[in-house]
Structure 1
């Protein structure tokens, strides 16, 4: 395990020799930072230490729906380790932060060695699959209030804070709803004393209350993000 203290869970579980071979470079992610765009080459992997990014599917009319969320627990661009050369989705920063980048060719070489980097990367792929499947079902099955509660809670978990900056435009993209719908739904949560929302800043006042409003998808996704090894037989470091 690395002797360097990382906040990113994947990096924290790697030996120092692997960390050195990855040639990590510190990077700052501003709000709205474009990390991947459909059809653009994937040149780097990104490991968030702080902040949060969303992966969205973009439709012909320009609308977007979130299909994945990235925080401190994993890596952005992992599909490139399995042969993908160009991004299939848009990935951009929803909450500003910082982390590390790694050249994709360097990462592919390390992945091909079959050691702990490969094991942890594949484990995170499993987590992404669960998150994407659950989010897709959630968008189709649950109402706007449940989905907004779920999303706000997941954001708070990823940034370790009940207060963070987030615009209504971003929220509407993430939930696949119109901005007026998001505004009305956020207003309902505010009236119930669950959140405060002012000038682009969300403050969760009652986490337990928000969990009651949220659908079961919140805990399913949270459990997999918090513990990627939930269904593993163990990983050799």
Structure 2
């Protein structure tokens, strides 16, 4: 499986100019990213910058009472480590692998050196940061104003956008932790989506049967996030067309 991995599976790396990519490539290390792996603990200094390819990283905010909820997800559209070039060595969120797979990592100093050149890479990363902030803001709005069913639709669609049409391995307990809701709420919401014929759920495995149905029932938050990242991905399409 690892032999099929390519840094260009990550859209940010794929969008770099050749000269920028050539400077970074020797420092990229392919690493397996297993479900549940904690890449960065809350308050810790980040040791590596991560570029997921076939995995998804979940950013969780932890409460003093032990509760948590996802504030953003990072898949092949982005990277883990924006706090490094935004002036901070640490973050209050915990970064944990939501969906196992592969990704590339490199020392922060390499990224910062290229960022400080103030070229196309810096502008690309700043646009990605804006899209990530949009995702965080929209997640907060969604968790406050929309139903668990709508939140689950949003989460499923964003996950599919990063991984493609495939079976998802995810227990209801993990989904509840990510959405910051009770497990019973996720059970009811997943049951309704299954009764509609949108998904099939068995023993921690979710198969999406009707994506259009999910898109019909999801709140507007999904499209807001998708459109913001589409502006970022236009750089990838431009480079491929060239």
Confirm or deny that 1:54 pairs with 2:58. yes
Which of the numbers 167, 181, 186 marks the counterpart of 1:182? 186
Which of the numbers 205, 215, 239 marks the counterpart of 1:201? 205
Q: Which moved more, 1:9-18 or 1:175-184?
A: 9-18
Distance 2:49 2:211 in 1: 33
- Deviation digits for residues 124-167 of structure 1 (CA, Å, limit 9, x no counterpart): 00001111111100000001111111111111111112421112
TM-score, length basis structure 2: 0.89
1:5 Cα offset (Å): 6.4
1:50 Cα offset (Å): 1.0
Q: Which residue of 2 aligns with 1:12?
A: 14
Which of the numbers 44, 50, 70 marks the counterpart of 1:66? 70
Distance 1:149 1:129 in 2: 20
8 Å contact kept, 1:156–1:163: no
Which of the numbers 20, 23, 27 marks the counterpart of 1:21? 23
Distance 2:120 2:37 in 1: 30
8 Å contact kept, 2:83–2:90: no
Q: Which residue of 2 aligns with 1:123?
A: 127
What SS does structure 2 have at the residue aligned with 1:209?
Answer: helix
- Pair 219,72 (structure 1): closer, same or farther in 2 beyond 3 Å: same
1:20 Cα offset (Å): 3.5
Select the structure that is richer in helix. Answer: 2
Distance 2:227 2:33 in 1: 26
RMSD: 1.8
8 Å contact kept, 2:198–2:211: yes
Q: What are the ranges of 5 or more consecutive residues in structure 2 without an aligned counterpart?
A: 1-5
Distance 2:230 2:209 in 1: 22
8 Å contact kept, 2:50–2:80: yes
- Deviation digits for residues 77-120 of structure 1 (CA, Å, limit 9, x no counterpart): 11111221122201111111111101011111111111122111
1:19 Cα offset (Å): 2.6
Q: Which residue of 2 aligns with 1:135?
A: 139
Confirm or deny that 1:36 pairs with 2:40. yes
